[in-house]
Amino acid sequence: MQAKQDWQYAPRSQDMEEIINRPPSWITLYGTIFMVVCVLGLALMAYIYEYPDTVGGDLVLTTIEPPRPLEAPDDFPITRVLVAHEDSVKAGEVLMVARSLATFNDVFELSERLSSNKDQSDGGLANFFIPPDWNLGEIQEAVFELQEKQEMYRNLRDRRLDGLTTRELETRISRQERFIRDQRQLQSKLEDRLLRNRSRLTQEEQLQTDGVDNRDRLNVALREVERTEDELNASRSEVRAASFDIELMRNQIDSYRGGLPSSLNQAGEDLRNAYDGLKAAVAGWENNYTITSPVDGLVLLKRDIRPGRTLLRGTPIGMVLPANAGGIIGRIDLPNRGSGSVAVGQRVLVRFDSYPYLEYGSVEGRVISIGRLPTGGITAVEVTFPNELNTTTGNRLEPGPLMEGEASIITDSRSLLQRFFKRR
C-alpha cells in the first residue's frame, strides 16, 4: 500500500513535464487560425444576413373600382326579388321591392313615363295621362293633385264655365258645399261602423286561430268590412270631386273679376308645381320601397335573401361587382402606430386566410398609395400585385371577392451586424 502511494506521488521526468507544459507549436498555430476563421465567418454571416423591419395590418383583396355593398335602407319587408345571384345588372336597375300599398309595375311604368316626357309646356303637362286603373298607393295623393291642376288648367284654357254667370256659379258652389257637409256626416257614421266591423272580424279571426269552425261568420265579417271600406272610399272620392268643382267655379269667378290671362298663368304655375311634386313623390317611393344597383356589374346576393323576409335597417344584402373594376389591388387597414415608416414602393408580403401559408406560400406586392387622413386610428394603404397572385412557392391563387389576409410591409432591411452597432 505504501509502495503504491509512493508511485503516485513520484516526480515526473523532464521530458514529460515539457510535453505537458509546452504544447506543440503546430497545435497553437492551427488552433489560432481556426478560431480566427470562425470569428470572421460569423462576422461575414452577420453582415450578409438581413433581417427586415415590418409593419403589419389586415388586408382585403378588392379592385380599383371596389365592390359596392348593398344594405337595407330601412326596415324592408321583401315582396319581390327581381334578380338572381350572379345576374348582370345595370346602374339604377331595381333589384328588390318592399311591401307597399302600390303595385310596383304601375309605379315603375309611371316613373318611365315621367322620365321620358319631352313636352314640359303647360299644354303638354295638362295632357299628361295617367290611367285611372293604376294602383299607385302611397303616391296616389300626388296623382290626384296633378289631375286636379290639369283639369283646372284645361277648364280655364278652354273657358268651359264661361256660359254661367257669377250668381249661377255661387249657387252651384253653395249646393256643393251642402253636399260636402252631408257627406262628412255620412263618413263619420261609416268610420264608426268600420271600427265595429273590424273589431268583429278580429274576434272571428282569433276564434278560427283557436280552432273554432266559424268559416261562414268569418266570411260575413270580412265582406262587411270590405263593403264599409268601399262606401267610405266612395264618399271620400265624391267629397274630393265636389271640392274640386268648387275650386274650379271659384277660379272662374276670379277670372271674371281679374281677367283670364292672370288666372291661366297661375293655373299653369300650379300645374308645373303639381307635376314636380308627383316626380318627387315617385322618387321618394323608389327610395323607400326599392333597392337598386349603384353601378353596372354582377350582383352577388346572400343566400337568405328571399320574398317574405323582413330586413332590418342596415342589414347586408350582398354586393355589386363593377363591370369595369380594373386590376386587383389590396387595401390594408394599417394601425397609425409605426405607419410613418411606410412609403410608396415598399415590398409587401401577404398571407391569405383561405390559402394556408405553409402550403401555398405568400404573395408579394408593392405599396402604391397611402391615405393622408387616418380614420379611427387606422391609415388606409393600397397595394398592387405586379406578379398577380403567384406565391413565393410557385402556386397561383384564385382571387375571390373581398378575400382577406395578413399583410407585412417591409419598411427596412438591415444586417445583424448593422443592428448590433446601431444599438450601441
Q: What is the total count of domains within the chain?
A: 4
| Tens-place pLDDT, residues 154-164 | 877 766 666 67
Domain co-membership, 217 together with 118: yes
pLDDT of residue 149: 86
Domain co-membership, 251 together with 398: no
- DSSP annotation string for 245-261: HHHHHHHHHHHHHH-HH
Angle at 264 between CA 261 and CA 266, to 5 degrees: 110
Domain co-membership, 72 together with 158: no
CATH of the domain at 186: 1.10.287
pLDDT of residue 97: 92
Domain co-membership, 153 together with 169: yes
pLDDT of residue 278: 93
- pLDDT tens digits for the chain (424 residues)? 444 454 454 555 666 666 566 666 666 666 677 777 777 776 666 556 555 677 788 888 887 777 888 888 888 888 889 998 888 889 888 999 998 888 898 999 999 999 999 888 888 898 899 887 788 888 988 988 898 888 878 877 766 666 677 888 888 889 989 999 999 999 999 999 989 998 998 888 888 878 888 888 888 888 898 888 878 878 887 887 788 778 778 877 776 665 544 467 888 888 999 999 999 999 999 999 999 998 888 888 888 888 888 888 888 888 888 887 667 888 888 887 767 778 888 888 888 888 888 888 888 888 888 877 777 778 888 888 888 888 888 888 888 777 888 888 887 766 555 555 555 4
CATH of the domain at 307: 2.40.50.100
Domain co-membership, 61 together with 74: no
pLDDT of residue 286: 92
Domain co-membership, 105 together with 235: yes
Domain co-membership, 258 together with 305: no
Provide the residue range defining the domain that includes 251. Answer: 98-290
Dist CA 339 CA 323 (whole Å): 33
**Helix runs in 96-165, H state only:** 104-116, 122-126, 140-158
- DSSP annotation string for 6-34: HHHTSPPPHHHHHHHHS--HHHHHHHHHH
Grid coordinates representing 3? 509502495
Domain co-membership, 15 together with 119: no
| Tens-place pLDDT, residues 24-43 | 666 666 667 777 777 777 66
pLDDT of residue 52: 66
Dist CA 266 CA 155 (whole Å): 13
Q: CA distances (Å), 268 to each of 124, 156, 250, in order?
A: 11, 10, 16
pLDDT of residue 356: 85
Sign of the C-alpha dihedral, residues 318, 319, 320, 325? negative
End residue of a domain, out of 290, 309, 334: 290
Domain co-membership, 117 together with 210: yes
Dist CA 361 CA 241 (whole Å): 77
Domain co-membership, 115 together with 155: yes
Domain co-membership, 30 together with 137: no
Grid coordinates representing 48? 450578409
